[in-house]
């Protein structure tokens, strides 16, 4: 790598050819609003980019298909699965609302690394969980104030974290309070930060300790990113601190409840991924490469 | 690394201090049998080592708690979660059957990297799915005939695959037919093969392409292991073949249906992990290191 760039130099942001900065900075509140009421009870199914918001909603909407309204979060490459899901939803539900980038979508949501937030917020408003949605937005707005490019490196947790992750492979260690957050972070870290990372399987403690104890060298490129605080994360920290290059604890600031906290952590890591791409002098956007993929998939 | 060892040399197997070879070789059929009938309907919950078998049973037992009998597959480090689950199960179910290594277990199943098979087989017999269980055992027996140490390297798919994985990081790419197989393989590969590996998040195509397109060097240590064949695995192969060091297709041989196939693939990779540990001159067992973890967790 050449001389490392300066994240406080406005010229560096020219690498951001697609202006992803603007999308990140305006994200809190940037989502399509429901324009009508939908009949209860509600169910939700997610594909591709819609997968994580559907998981997050699982605590509110345990059903996938519902008699009243089923929301189909149809992001990404359905590869034929969408059609079957729609048929099943239409057989079961009085109303089926498809969100996504495709022609079958009633609510248009372009493919985008930040789309999971938008799917989530639409559905929260649509099912009468607007107060929870506002708590999510407050959590994101609080993060934004600290993370935006105008905040210099020494006061900016995302810039500082990005510096620590150069040429490292993140290993996501999340509290049970945030199920599937590691997988959501794998996605955003690849799509914006252009970097692979490792989400451990269930039974993560055995996974960490057996692999790293016998072959220590595997820990050299790893930074364990510990999200939240509970008996599992504390034990994981204990196991990992002598076995990986670095352990960083990341806690949500002032968010209220598991869903706002999970989104706040995700948003912090999205900004971190953004700065990391700039440190690699890569365009943080992914539109061009995903267009290629879309062509291959057709 | 010194001169590489010879997997066809019986002396090499001295590294296997805990005799894991014997557990692998006798696995088909090696599980505790139910000694009584259990009232239907049935539900299943899994923790730790019991997590994957509970997922596999999801297609047969969609409920976690059931009015009749709930099977609690209590492997691994509950960290306080087991108690709450047991209380909920006892409130809901006429009969609660706990399997696992702990004192609360009615059916004893010691902690072991191959325990997922044993949990699965007990429950299949207990819920009247013995025919499916026998199909699993036939699939494993067919694999065993080709994979055991007596079969020389040139005819042994697990030995050959292990050679190809030295100093590589597996990237698991599994057909939708085998949900959560990548996570099960992460576990067995760490516990027996002492090696980290990557299970991609949902929306795996975007994950692969965006990370690897911008920073090609990340693909150098990766071998993509493609399990099964469908529209997704074919497109993933297309995307990965120019972006990782190697792509290997692995298909189940002669297994009948998704669960026997998933177990056959898992068993093949367990043998591969076993040979890989020997190539690294490591003990494939994990009893000693997990004893340490158990002490830390108490």
ipTM entry:
0.95
Nearest-neighbour CA in chain A from B26: distance (Å):
23
Confidence band (pLDDT; 50, 70, 90) for B242?
Answer: very high
CATH 3.40.50.10920 positions along chain B are: 19-128
Give the residue-averaged pLDDT of B37-48: 95
Residues A85-117 have pLDDT tens digits of 999 999 999 999 999 999 999 999 999 999 999
Q: How many residues does chain A have?
A: 298
The answer to whether B289 faces chain A, any CB pair under 8 Å, is yes
Contacts of A189 in chain B (CB under 8 A): 211
Confidence band (pLDDT; 50, 70, 90) for B256?
Answer: confident
CA distances from residue B127 to A52, A85, B36, B42 in whole angstroms, order as listed = 33, 29, 11, 7
Interchain pair B51, A203: CB under 8 A:
yes
Give the residue-averaged pLDDT of A280-287: 92
Nearest-neighbour CA in chain B from A107: distance (Å):
20
Q: Give me the percent of chain B exceeding a pLDDT of 90.
A: 84
Interchain pair A203, B76: CB under 8 A:
yes
pTM (2 d.p.): 0.95
User: Is CATH 1.10.150.170 the right assignment for the domain spanning B19-128?
Assistant: no
Q: Which CATH class is domain A10-18+149-279?
A: alpha beta
How many angstroms separate the CA atoms of B130 and A44, rounded?
Answer: 35
Give phi and psi for B99, each to the nearest 5.
-115, 140
Half-sphere exposure of A242 (CA within 13 A, CB side): 5
Nearest Cα neighbor of B239 from A276, A190, A240 is A190
CA distances from residue A173 to A199, A236, B122, B168 in whole angstroms, order as listed = 8, 8, 32, 23
CATH 3.40.50.10920 positions along chain A are: 42-128
| Residues in contact with B158: Cβ distance below 8 Å, sequence separation at least 6, in sequence order | B146, B147, B268, B271, B272, B274, B275
CATH 3.40.50.10490 positions along chain B are: 10-17+151-279
Interchain pair A202, B48: CB under 8 A:
yes
The answer to whether A232 faces chain B, any CB pair under 8 Å, is yes
The pLDDT mean for chain A works out to 94
The CATH classification number of A42-128 equals: 3.40.50.10920
The size of the A-B interface in CB pairs under 8 A is 161
Q: Which of residues 175-194 of A touch B (CB under 8 A)?
A: 176, 182-184, 186-187, 189-191, 194
The pLDDT mean for chain B works out to 94
CATH 3.40.50.10490 positions along chain A are: 10-18+149-279
Nearest Cα neighbor of A280 from A193, A181, A157 is A193
| Residues in contact with A298: Cβ distance below 8 Å, sequence separation at least 6, in sequence order | none
Residues A227-269 have pLDDT tens digits of 999 989 999 999 999 999 999 999 988 788 999 999 999 999 9
- CB atoms near residue B209 (< 10 Å): 22
Give the residue-averaged pLDDT of B184-200: 97
How many angstroms separate the CA atoms of B160 and A179, rounded?
Answer: 37
Interchain pair B203, A231: CB under 8 A:
no
Pick the CATH number of B10-17+151-279 from 3.30.200.20, 3.40.50.10490, 3.10.129.10, 3.30.70.920: 3.40.50.10490
Best of B198, B203, B290 to substitute, by most chain A Cβ atoms within 10 angstroms, is B203
The answer to whether B170 faces chain A, any CB pair under 8 Å, is no
């Amino acid at each position: 790598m050449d001389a490392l760039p300066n994240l406080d130099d406005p010229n560096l942001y020219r690498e951001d050819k697609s202006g992803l900065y603007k999308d990140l900075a305006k994200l809190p509140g940037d989502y399509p609003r429901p324009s009508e009421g939908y009949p209860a009870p509600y169910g939700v199914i997610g594909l591709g980019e819609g997968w994580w918001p559907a998981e997050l909603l699982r605590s509110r909407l345990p059903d996938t298909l519902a008699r009243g309204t089923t929301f189909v979060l149809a992001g990404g490459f359905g590869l034929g699965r969408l059609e079957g899901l729609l048929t099943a939803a239409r057989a079961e539900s009085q109303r089926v609302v498809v969100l996504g980038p495709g022609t079958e979508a009633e609510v248009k949501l372009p493919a985008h690394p930040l789309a999971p937030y938008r799917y989530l917020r639409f559905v929260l408003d649509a099912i009468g969980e607007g107060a929870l949605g506002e708590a999510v937005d407050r959590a994101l707005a609080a993060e934004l104030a600290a993370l935006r490019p105008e905040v210099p490196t020494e006061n900016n947790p995302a810039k500082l974290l990005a510096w620590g992750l150069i040429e490292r492979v993140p290993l996501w260690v999340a509290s049970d309070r945030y199920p599937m957050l590691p997988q959501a972070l794998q996605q955003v870290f690849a799509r914006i930060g252009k970097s692979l990372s490792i989400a451990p399987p269930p039974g993560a403690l055995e996974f960490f300790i057996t692999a790293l104890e016998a072959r220590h060298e595997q820990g050299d490129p790893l930074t364990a990113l510990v999200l939240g605080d509970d008996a599992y994360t504390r034990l994981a920290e204990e196991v990992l601190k002598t076995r990986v290059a670095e352990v960083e604890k990341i806690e949500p600031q002032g968010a209220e409840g598991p869903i706002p906290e999970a989104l706040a952590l995700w948003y912090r890591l999205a900004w971190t991924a953004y700065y990391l791409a700039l440190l690699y002098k890569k365009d943080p956007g992914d539109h061009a490469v995903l267009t290629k993929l879309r062509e291959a998939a057709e």
